Amino acid sequence: MARNDLQGSLDLLVLKTLSQMGELHGYGIVLHIQRASDDLLSVEEGSLYPAVHRMEQSGWIRSEWKMTETNREAKYYRLTPAGQKELIKAEKSFEQLVKGIRSVLRYA
Amino acid sequence: MSIFRRIVNSFHRSKLEQDIDRELRSHMEMRIADNIAAGMSPEQARRDALIRFGNRTAIREGITAVDAELIFDSLWREMRYAMRQLRRTPAFTITALVTLVLGIGANVVVFSVVEQLVLKPLDVPQPSGLYSVAHATHGYDNQSYPDYLDFQNKNSTFSDLAAYRIQFAGLAAGSAAYKCWYYRVSGNYFDMLGVQPAHGRLFHASDERGPNSAPYIVLSHNFWASHFDADPRVVGTAVHINKHAFTVIGIAPSGFHGTEVFIWPDFWMPIVNTPDDEGTGFLSNRAMHNLFILGKLKPDVTVQQATDNLNAIARELALQYPATDDDLSARLVKPGLMGDSFGGPARSFLAAVMVLAFLVLLAACANLASLFAARTADRSRELAIRLAIGSSRWHVLRQLLVEAVLISVLGGALGTIFSTALLRAFTRWQPFPEFPIHVTVNPDARIYFVALLLSVGSGVIWGLVPVRQVWAADSAQVMKSSAGAPLNFRSFAFRDLLLCIQITLCTLLVTSSFVALRGMQRSLRAPLGFQPQGAILADTDLHMGGHSDKSSTMMQKRMLQEVAGIPGVSAVGIIDERPLGTGGSSTTVYRQGTTDFRASNSVFGAKYFSISPGYLNAAGTALLTGRDFNWQDNAGASKVAIVNETFARALFGKMTALGLRFTLGDKAECEIVGVVENGKYDSITEPPRAAMFFPLEQNPDSDTTLVVRSPLPPAEIVPELRNVLGKIDPNLPFTFHIWPDALGFVLFPARVATTSLSVMGLLAAMLAVTGVFGIAMYSVSKRAKEFGIRVALGAQPFQLMRSALSRPVMLLLSGSAAGLLLGSIASQLLAQIVYQATSRDPLVFAAVMATMIILGLFAMWIPAHRALGIHPAGLLREE
């Protein structure tokens, strides 16, 4: 559970970002999460990469080196079908987590 | 496949790290660019990017750690699942483990011995480039000292050549006296091997200045520790060797035990010194072949170049000394096994045993493969469900493979533990108390590596068998049918094939061991040329009592008189070295009238012995024609000899040999006065060879073996014998043997061969039983429902048996037939190692067939019982 909380939510954010944006590099993912959360969430830039690598190794995402619009080389990530399934699972479990925490908070 | 990619990643760390660096750099650059666009100075922009990013090295390590974690995670998950599966089927797990322990254990033991004897270099400080110089003709590996010197001085391919011989002497220090085995070595011996003393000094080439110039000895570390309490003050003291004074100049380092793998000598002495009355004549006699030569190749010289170089020298010597060096030639062999005389047969025997051990493992794998295939078929529903809910075929297969490798590695580990225990016992074992022989086999990293390789290899072999089953599985089809569905005929046929292969291999092994056993039995019954039963031997060397060869005869005569007077002694005689002992010499024989005594003009080489009158009677050697020696055949009389049948036939054909003459290499003519039966002289397995006997007085020798025949039990006669001989010379040490026991040494190779082949055969038989049992049991349990219905409908026990067991019986018969055929082919190879092994022996054929049938009946007993005991009502209730 403890592991699922923190790591799981970072995984969820990355998977969701990729499912919305299609294809994105690491820096882009950081910017998107920040922007989409109205600056409420800021991903620690360094800690993103181990998570992304693990997801790639687990077969949830695929990567490819490409050029950005500003002509810089960057590694672009995209969701795989397995990642799609994982996203659905992660969303469900997150909703349950939120529900659970909310009911505990309301109990008093 | 990702597990492989991850493992590959962990080997290609640098490539992965480059990739990570590139990605992190690109991230930093984009952040800096954005910062500048937002109005920061380049300096500020970079600082901000770095702070946001954190420690780059730590991040890189974090990313690579993910890989290791994932590998460990998924493997661990699969292992735990595999463990659970194996625990759920203890019968399968235990059968598999036992099979693997036997198969892998046998291979580890055999490989360890092979490594020790064949693969490992000599246990000396600088073993590289060391070779033994043997003759080109196999079996004659001793060289003469002058030839050694010529090889040493004239060659251009060796950095050094050393000579050594191994001998036996009495060593007296203070009031204590010991019988010792020792090396006589050329002065450069220690320097060539790079040996440094533990105490004192070693001798060098510069110490040799002609015969008897270096009365020094170097003690072995073991001998020093066990007989001199490891006291360093022993260096510099005098000891007496066969009554000659020598100085102990140093102690060899611990662990150094000369240049023979098996033999642990007590000390080393310069070869130019002689502690007995054999004299130093051999130092200048080219005809006396009594040395082993060990050479160290110069760097960059090939074995072929060195061999050619020595052979060129040998040809020169043959021209220069035609009488003695006519047939001189050189061949380089791996050192440590008595030139090549022991090494050759040992190597081919070990190769054969290794093949057999490997066959045992293959049979074990075939056994496990059929069990595993059956088990996979039983689990087909589980596997089908896993495939149906989205598991990939590869994933399912990997799970099965992890199970197979897991159990193989477990079995391999257990097998290795057992075999190391066995090898430890083997190392402590001293087969012959009177010889300093140890076979030290210490399992090392290489052996553990081989064990691991065998385990994983065999796991993969039998773990991959269900691949086809998993690949071809149609999950919908499998799930529709119930667990008790009729068997898939094709996959059953595949398992049948495996069982058939297994039985073939097992029959092959059983046949080999029977052939070897039979050969051993036959060679034990072959006539020896003497009757060991009821005879006692008393060995000594009169040199140890300070007698010379010449004065020996007087002593020997006295011994014969005194011993013959002991009540209960029916016959007594003396021979210099007993046949089938460890010594004995041979020399070349020429026709009468030969003038050119070069070796190629000789008729043959013959073993020769010196015997007293009465020896033939005491030893039980039958005199076919002529007379025994008497004391009138002395130094003054004309030279006479008794020869064996082979000798007589080879020299004179069908003519009667009595009264005819032949000539020896020293130009002495001998008249034949008697012909005796053939015998065995060097080994049980030798073909008939020529031998001759000379009277002791015409050919005196200090080596003395009294052969005492008596109807009394040895326990009564030996003390009396010891008493009588002690009175003649109290200082003379005697060794007593019961003659049949003394033959242990010559029977040893055949015993080892037969034991190892029997063990392999036994292992194979056990595997055959488990294989047949497994498959018969499986087919009965699968068809229990069908049998129940048939019993209910009135089937007779015989009909049930026929349908339950016809298939296993068919397999057993066809496998045995194939194995017997292969076995008879393989036995022809075996015949070269085990004396008198032949496959064309109806007894062997019958024994193999009977064994396989008994094994089959034994294996099918329980399944057949179960098939007959099926109760229809009980089965119906179960369903």
| Minimal Cβ distance to A73: which of B20, B26, B65 | B26
For B63, name the nearest residue in chain A, comparing CA atoms only: A50
CA distance A24 to chain B (A): 12
Query: B2 and chain A: CB distance < 8 Å anywhere?
Result: yes
- Partners of B31 on chain A (C-beta within 8 Å) are 27, 45
Indicate whether B182 pLDDT > 70.
Answer: yes
Q: In the prediction, which pLDDT does B476 show?
A: 64
User: Across the interface, which of B23, B54, B56 has its CB nearest the CB of A26?
Assistant: B23
By residue range, what is the domain housing residue A77?
2-107
Q: Regarding predicted confidence, which is higher, B513 or B268?
A: B268
Task: Find the residue in A nearest to B5 (Cα).
Answer: A57
Q: What is the pLDDT of residue B487?
A: 44
The answer to whether B33 contacts chain A (CB < 8 Å) is yes
| B762 and A CB contact within 8 Å | no
pLDDT one-digit tens code per residue, B439-493: 777 777 888 888 888 888 888 887 777 776 667 666 666 666 554 444 444 455 6
Mean pLDDT of chain B: 81
* Record: contact B27-A68, CB cut-off 8 A: no
* Per-residue pLDDT at B2 exceeds 70: no
pLDDT above 60 for B213: yes
Q: Which residues of B touch A47 (CB under 8 A)?
A: 54, 59, 62
Beta carbons of A26 and B6 less than 8 Å apart: no
Say yes or no: B83 contacts chain A, CB-CB below 8 A: no
CB pair distance less than 8 Å for A58 and B58: no
Classify the C-alpha dihedral B412-B417-B422-B428 as positive or negative: positive
When CB atoms are compared, the residue of A50, A59, A72 closest to B26 is A72
* B553-590 confidence digits (pLDDT tens): 888 898 999 999 888 899 999 998 888 876 667 788 88
Q: Distances in Å between the alpha carbon of B442 and those of B40, B355, B418, B449?
A: 72, 22, 14, 14
CA distance A78 to chain B (A): 16
**Whole-angstrom Cα distance, residue B660 to residue B648?**
10
Closest approach of chain A CAs to the CA of B18, in angstroms?
13
CB of B347 less than 8 A from some CB of A: no
Q: How far is CA B810 from CA A59, B412, B510, B784, B806, in A?
A: 51, 33, 19, 21, 6
Residue in chain B lying closest to A68 (CA): B30
pLDDT tens-digit map of B239-259: 888 778 888 999 999 888 888
Indicate whether A98 pLDDT > 60.
yes
Radius of gyration in angstroms for the set of CA atoms belonging to chain B, rounded to a whole number:
37
Residue found under tokens 């209960």: B568
Side-chain half-sphere exposure of B644, counting CA atoms within 13 A: 22
Say how far apart CA B367 and CA B358 lie, in whole Å: 14
Torsion of CA B339, B341, B342, B346, to 10 degrees: 110
Residues B344 and B138 sit within 8 Å (Cβ to Cβ)? yes
The whole-angstrom separation of Cα B514 and Cα B827 is 10
ipTM associated with this complex = 0.86
* B54 at A interface, C-beta within 8 A: yes
Whole-number pLDDT of residue B138 = 63
**How close, in Å, is residue B26 to chain A by CA atoms?**
6
Residues of A with CB under 8 A from a CB of B: 25-27, 44-47, 49-50, 53-54, 57-59, 68, 70, 72-75
How far apart are the C-alpha atoms of B632 and B66, rounded to whole Å?
A: 98
Give B-chain residues touching A58 at CB under 8 angstroms: 2, 70
Q: Range with the lowest mean pLDDT among B67-76, B403-412, B614-623? A: B67-76
Q: Do the chains contact at A49 and B59, CB–CB below 8 Å?
A: yes
Instruction: Flag whether residue B13 sits within 8 Å of chain A, measured between CB atoms.
Output: no
**Chain A residues in contact with B394 (beta carbon < 8 A):** none
Tens digit of each residue's pLDDT (9 = 90 or more) over B282-303: 777 777 777 888 888 888 888 8
Domains of chain B by residue range: 2-80, 130-335, 344-524+747-878, 535-745
| A74-78, B451-455, B623-627, range with the lowest pLDDT | B451-455
Q: Nearest CA to CA, how far is A47 from chain B (Å)?
A: 7
With CA atoms as reference, the chain A residue closest to B22 would be: A74
Quick check: A1 pLDDT over 50?
no
Q: Measured between CB atoms, does B243 come within 8 Å of chain A?
A: no
B201 DSSP 8-state letter: -
Of B592 and B377, the one with more pLDDT: B592
Q: Which of A29, A35, A53 to mutate to test the interface with B (most CBs of B within 10 A)?
A: A53
A59:B2 CB<8 A: yes
Mean pLDDT of B642-658: 88
pLDDT recorded at residue A4 = 44
**End-to-end Cα spacing for chain B:** 41
Q: What tokens appear for B244 in the block?
A: 């000659």
- What mean pLDDT do residues B733-749 have? 78
pLDDT of B484: 43
Residue B326 confidence (pLDDT) above 80: no
Report the pLDDT value the prediction gives residue B642, as an integer from 0 to 100: 94
* B81: number of Cβ within 10 Å: 13
The pLDDT of B61-73, averaged and rounded, is 76
Torsion angle of alpha carbons B252, B255, B261, B262, nearest 10°? 90
To test the contact with chain A by mutation, choose from B66, B73, B389, B395 the residue with the greatest count of A C-beta atoms within 10 A, namely: B66
Residue B391, chain A, CB below 8 Å: the answer is no
Element (H, E) at B664: strand B661-664
CB contact under 8 A, B26 and A74: yes
| B262 or B163, greater pLDDT | B163
Q: Which of A26, A53, A59 sits opposite B27 (nearest CB)?
A: A26
The whole-number pLDDT of residue B489 equals 42
The C-alpha R_g of chain A, in whole angstroms, comes to: 15
- A-facing residues of B in 125-144 (CB < 8 A) are none
Is the pLDDT assigned to residue B614 strictly greater than 80? yes
* Cβ partners under 8 Å of residue B259, min gap 6: B122, B124, B130, B164, B193, B292, B294, B335, B336
CA distance linking residue B692 with residue B48, whole number of Å: 105
Residues of A in contact with B2 (CB under 8 A): 57-59
CA-to-CA separations, B8 to B100, B402, B456, in angstroms, rounded? 30, 18, 19
CB B640 within 8 A of CB B671: yes
- What was the pLDDT predicted at A37? 87
Question: With an 8 Å Cβ cutoff, are B31 and A45 in contact?
Answer: yes
Tell me the two tokens of residue B192.
């060539």
Tokens 């019988």 map to which residue?
A: B179
Nearest to B6 among A25, A26, A57 (CB): A57
Residue at token pair 């194939």: B818
Which residue among B6, B23, B66 places its CB closest to the CB of A75? B23
Number of domains chain A is built from: 1
B430 pLDDT exceeds 70?
no
Q: A with B: how many residue pairs have Cβ under 8 Å apart?
A: 67
pTM: 0.67
To test the contact with chain B by mutation, choose from A57, A64, A72 the residue with the greatest count of B C-beta atoms within 10 A, namely: A57
- Span B387-420, pLDDT tens digits: 777 777 777 787 888 888 888 888 888 988 888 8
* Cross-chain residue pair B70–A72, CB shorter than 8 Å: no
Q: What is the pLDDT of residue B279?
A: 62
Domain containing residue A99: CATH number: 1.10.10.10
Q: List beta partners, residue B537.
A: B707, B737
**Cα distance between residue B545 and residue B548, in whole Å:** 9
Q: How confident is the model at residue A71 (pLDDT cuts 50, 70, 90)?
A: confident
Stated as kind and residue range, the H or E segment containing B642 is: strand B640-644
Gap from A94 CA to chain B (nearest CA, Å): 23
Q: What is the rounded distance in angstroms from the CA atom of residue B219 to the CA atom of residue B236?
A: 12
- What are the beta bridge partners of residue B171? B178, B241
In chain B, the residue whose alpha carbon lies closest to the alpha carbon of A50 is: B63
CA distance A79 to A86: 10
Interchain CB distance below 8 Å, B20 and A49: yes
